[in-house]
Structure 1
Amino acid sequence: MSDLPRKAVTRTAKLAALPLGFAGRATWGLGKRIGGRSAEIVGRELQQRTAEQLFKVLGELKGGAMKFGQALSVFESALPEEIAGPYRAALTKLQEAAPPMPTSTVHAVLAERLGEDWRELFEEFEDKPAAAASIGQVHRAVWHDGREVAVKVQYPGAGKALLSDLAQLSRFARLLGPLVPGMDIKPLISELRDRVSEELDYSLEADAQRAHAEEFADDPDVVVPAVVHQRDQVLVTEWMDGVPLSEVIADGTDEQRDRAGQLLARFLFSGPARTGLLHADPHPGNFRLLAGDSPDGPAGEWRLGVLDFGTVDRLPDGLPATIGASLRMTLDGEADAVYQMLCEEGFVKESIELDPDAVLEYLLPIIEPAQVDAFTFTRGWMRRQAARVGDPRSPAHQLGKQLNLPPAYLLIHRVTLSTIGVLCQLGATVRLRDELEAWMPGFVPEHEPAGADLTGSDPGPDEDPAGPGTDIDEEAVEETTA
């Protein structure tokens, strides 16, 4: 493919082919079964073909189509296991790669945005992209001062493509819904569309990355590359090696999985407290696991590298204290107090009256990870939660439909849910309560000291581990219905 397809009619036709293709394959499958092939074999082939088409279309189009695919990929944990494999492989590809721009286009963009003498800025520049994503691709290079850098170049026409794709995707959102049971696709697409202008502005991304890089400069757990240069739609940052989180999900050791999960949870809650910003694109392609002096050293040496600050939520006071306080009161069984707070914050509309005890019963499974010292996030847990909130016959589904998600909480909700999806992919055992006590405003009453070690260090090998793992995450999935 020679360039980012920009003609609306071309992109619309490709996206429209997705639901048509789903329907056509269903007809093909019916014919095969009538012909005598088993439903199980035909079903596997059907899912494989659908997954392949999904990646082909979303990946080739880049833009909003690929961004939607990346956002969707973190929820593959909710798919029934018999169909998860093909989608997992196809969607995971969207986290790390997409067909690249031609070299001539890259050079033309750099000349236009950095000046005709752009090559003088670099000692070396690799024409082959190191990564290609939804609105830009990354090239490895050596800056003129000798630093290894990542050069992020935005695709020409990316803005129009993003808006066009997301508008088209929203038209057949209902047909895409079955890809993730229990999740409403349309609000996800709407929220992605609302963030387009910010993500296209690399100066905003540079500011957000600088804030994180400065705050986490000497952090023992989290690494954020420094910003080297930014101009127009080109962003140059320090290069960061490491094991992509997608590889840890596929082949990582238990130590790597647990360490990555703990640090991911720590970054989710500590980032807003320390920078006033929430990293809002938590798919595995944006994280690396970095070794210490010895790649084979103990788990405590692994650090979490964080990339891509194009989408952030600005929270100058950190995460809302309402979340922490309501979570604590739910754990304490204070049904009336929780219900009153939800009403005051707009989670329950004035025209609706609910039973506080029923609301508490609805919320308790969601916060299971915070009820124990350590919680093991699993795909099985995620699937059970998706089934519980997605089944129209279930009480959870009926109650969830009556709850409301205020606009101020939309992005926080999606980021939390996406992070839990990644934790389930990792199968990580995480001491989530430690992170809540250390970083979540309102979770620990003001008269009580926080129970976590604010240095963020993990227990040593001779220390008592946090406790038995259980099966995880209702918290994330349940929020989706709110």
Structure 2
Amino acid sequence: MKSRRSGVRLVEGGLRAEADIGGNPPARKAVRTAKLAAVPLSFAGRQVAGAGKRALGRPASEIDREIQLRTAEHMADVLGELKGCAAKLGQVLGVYELALPPELAEPYRIALGRLQDAAPPMLPRTVHTVLEASFGPDWRASFREFDDRRSASATIGQVHRAVWHDGRAVAVKVMYPGARAAVDSDLRQLRGLAWLTPVFAPHVDGHAVVDELAECLRAEMDFEAEARNQRRFAQAYADDPDFVVPRVVAQRGDVIVSEWLDGIPLSRLITTGSRAERDRVGMLAVRFFWSSAPRSGLLYGDPHPGNLRALPDGRLGVVDFGACPPWPPAQFPALVHDLADALIHGGPAELDAAAQRHGFTDAQRGLDSAGLAEKLLPFTELLRHETFRVDTTWLRGRTRDALSPKLDNAYRQLGVPAYLMPFQRALVTLLGLVAQLGTTGPMRAEILRWSPELSAVMDRCAPTP
């Protein structure tokens, strides 16, 4: 059967570009641009229709919520189908829904959650083509069994369950055909399409998000480097009582074969797990993140719920090691110590000096250090209490502080050193996960266990119960 070429057609007041029938992302610039353009066009159409419904007497609040929900679902559909940069952008923006009031955030949270597992699948013949290109025409000889149905999806690929030729159950991660071309196209275009960001948070710096997104995607496209990272983590956490990192069985071309993990993604436990279970896995996620660099020399850069599994034996399984840079840079320990020391033991003058010393601001630009200290101090609550609860209410307050459009917002006066971007993105993702779980636990002890710089600062404090 011949494959059908991608096309564009008009639906529901906007343009809709059809993906290749094989399920791989559309790579042509015109198709991808048309899909992205459909979002604001459809949103405008819904607003016009909503005005008519208001005139007929429907409550404005009901109409506004319906528009928000349909726009969020449409955005999730488009980002999921485009995969690559677009889907990763959706994951990043998922954090920023915390800046919205709860009644507006809910539809975006629901729709963005679907990006973890709902991207359209590749058809079997497309998967087989990638396997043949990577393993050769006799690729089936490497497997006793291979399930053509995907078991999970990712921004640039999908995972299939199989049985390796030696009888081991394995996960086979296959990159979407055309993914590199799609990502290259997106990286050229996304800077000009940063207007998409306000659909989720009106005052996010879309260009900064796109820059970080680009670096993340470039790392994730290198399966050889990802396999090296995973082997390094697997060795660092071998026989660990709390964590399982599946060992790499084989890596060739655009395919990674790893040991299979039977577990429940944390994205599911967020809504179905018991209070005790969510606390336990939330604290394990905190431990894995903070221990990753001391134990492996790499930062685990993508601790979102779809990459973590609650295993039947109680351990936490961890997958996806594409975005794992060497860590820490030489200047990072001093930065952590100096900023924490200024916040906890100093005052505005000490914070201003530390911010200048580490490249967040300079003497010419100026800094409202008293205002910044007021916004940052709530984060030190994690270190001031033996037990602390991180939930969406707490994190929403911190996020709305950071994203406030007010000109006197001290955060707007800061620059961020480029080397910090991977850590910043990973930490925000972790906080989002822990908050969604509503985790209560010994945050201070877990963080200080892995950070001698923070321990040196906190050793000078009297504990707060």
Gaps of 5+ in 1: 293-301, 452-465, 469-482
The match for 1:98 among 103, 116, 119 is 119
Residues 137-152 of structure 1: pairs in structure 2 closer than 5 A:
137-152=158-173
* 2:365 counterpart residue number: 352
**Residue pair 1:321, 1:443 contacting (<8 A) in 2 also:** no
Pair 1:365 & 2:385 matched: no
The match for 2:393 among 365, 380, 403 is 380
**CA deviation profile, 1:194-238 (whole Å, cap 9, x unmatched):** 233321110100000011011011212221111000011110000
**Residue pair 2:93, 2:197 contacting (<8 A) in 1 also:** no
CA offset at residue 2 of structure 1? 2.6
* 1:296 counterpart residue number: none
Inter-CA distance 115–127: structure 2 relative to 1 (3 Å threshold): same
Tell me, what secondary structure is at the counterpart of 1:277?
coil
Inter-CA distance 106–447: structure 2 relative to 1 (3 Å threshold): closer
**Partner Cα separation in structure 1 for residue 202 and residue 432 of structure 2:** 13
CA offset at residue 12 of structure 1? 1.1
**Partner Cα separation in structure 1 for residue 461 and residue 326 of structure 2:** 25
* 1:136 counterpart residue number: 157
**Partner Cα separation in structure 1 for residue 353 and residue 211 of structure 2:** 29
* 1:32 counterpart residue number: 53
Inter-CA distance 445–155: structure 2 relative to 1 (3 Å threshold): same
Q: Report which stretch shifted further, 370-379 or 205-214.
A: 370-379
**Partner Cα separation in structure 1 for residue 39 and residue 270 of structure 2:** 28
TM, length-normalised to structure 1 = 0.86
Inter-CA distance 307–367: structure 2 relative to 1 (3 Å threshold): same
* 2:294 counterpart residue number: 273
Residues 239-318 of structure 1: pairs in structure 2 closer than 5 A:
239-292=260-313, 302-315=314-327
**Residue pair 1:388, 1:394 contacting (<8 A) in 2 also:** no
Pair 1:203 & 2:224 matched: yes
Residues 25-424 of structure 1: pairs in structure 2 closer than 5 A:
25-180=46-201, 183-292=204-313, 302-315=314-327, 320-325=332-337, 326-354=339-367, 356-393=369-406, 395=408, 397=409, 399-424=410-435
**Partner Cα separation in structure 1 for residue 209 and residue 380 of structure 2:** 22
* 1:471 counterpart residue number: none
**Residue pair 1:55, 1:91 contacting (<8 A) in 2 also:** yes
CA offset at residue 79 of structure 1? 3.0
Q: Report which stretch shifted further, 67-76 or 104-113.
A: 67-76
**Partner Cα separation in structure 2 for residue 73 and residue 353 of structure 1:** 32
Inter-CA distance 242–373: structure 2 relative to 1 (3 Å threshold): same
CA offset at residue 179 of structure 1? 0.8
**Partner Cα separation in structure 1 for residue 210 and residue 368 of structure 2:** 32
* 1:433 counterpart residue number: 444
**Residue pair 2:297, 2:328 contacting (<8 A) in 1 also:** yes
**Partner Cα separation in structure 2 for residue 154 and residue 178 of structure 1:** 29
Inter-CA distance 323–261: structure 2 relative to 1 (3 Å threshold): farther
* 1:19 counterpart residue number: 40
**Partner Cα separation in structure 1 for residue 458 and residue 215 of structure 2:** 40
**Partner Cα separation in structure 2 for residue 317 and residue 387 of structure 1:** 29
Q: Percentage identity across aligned positions?
A: 44
Gaps of 5+ in 2: 1-20
Give the superposed CA RMSD. 2.4
**Residue pair 2:335, 2:358 contacting (<8 A) in 1 also:** no
CA offset at residue 305 of structure 1? 1.1
Tell me, what secondary structure is at the counterpart of 2:71?
helix
TM, length-normalised to structure 2 = 0.89
**CA deviation profile, 1:109-136 (whole Å, cap 9, x unmatched):** 1111101111111111001111122111
CA offset at residue 394 of structure 1? 7.2
Inter-CA distance 63–440: structure 2 relative to 1 (3 Å threshold): same
**Residue pair 2:366, 2:413 contacting (<8 A) in 1 also:** no
Q: Which amino acid aligns with 2:43?
A: F
Q: Which amino acid aligns with 1:135?
A: I
Q: Which amino acid aligns with 1:2?
A: G
**Partner Cα separation in structure 1 for residue 37 and residue 326 of structure 2:** 35
Q: Which amino acid aligns with 1:419?
A: L
Inter-CA distance 417–284: structure 2 relative to 1 (3 Å threshold): same
**Partner Cα separation in structure 2 for residue 401 and residue 467 of structure 1:** 31
**Partner Cα separation in structure 2 for residue 43 and residue 447 of structure 1:** 47
CA offset at residue 174 of structure 1? 3.2
Tell me, what secondary structure is at the counterpart of 1:228?
strand
**Partner Cα separation in structure 2 for residue 98 and residue 282 of structure 1:** 19
CA offset at residue 420 of structure 1? 0.7
**Partner Cα separation in structure 1 for residue 22 and residue 216 of structure 2:** 27
Tell me, what secondary structure is at the counterpart of 1:183?
coil
CA offset at residue 371 of structure 1? 2.2
Tell me, what secondary structure is at the counterpart of 1:59?
helix
Inter-CA distance 334–176: structure 2 relative to 1 (3 Å threshold): closer
**Partner Cα separation in structure 1 for residue 235 and residue 460 of structure 2:** 27
Inter-CA distance 422–78: structure 2 relative to 1 (3 Å threshold): farther
**Partner Cα separation in structure 2 for residue 379 and residue 102 of structure 1:** 38
**Partner Cα separation in structure 1 for residue 352 and residue 363 of structure 2:** 12
**Partner Cα separation in structure 1 for residue 222 and residue 154 of structure 2:** 16
**Partner Cα separation in structure 2 for residue 12 and residue 174 of structure 1:** 13
CA offset at residue 413 of structure 1? 0.8
Pair 1:442 & 2:453 matched: yes
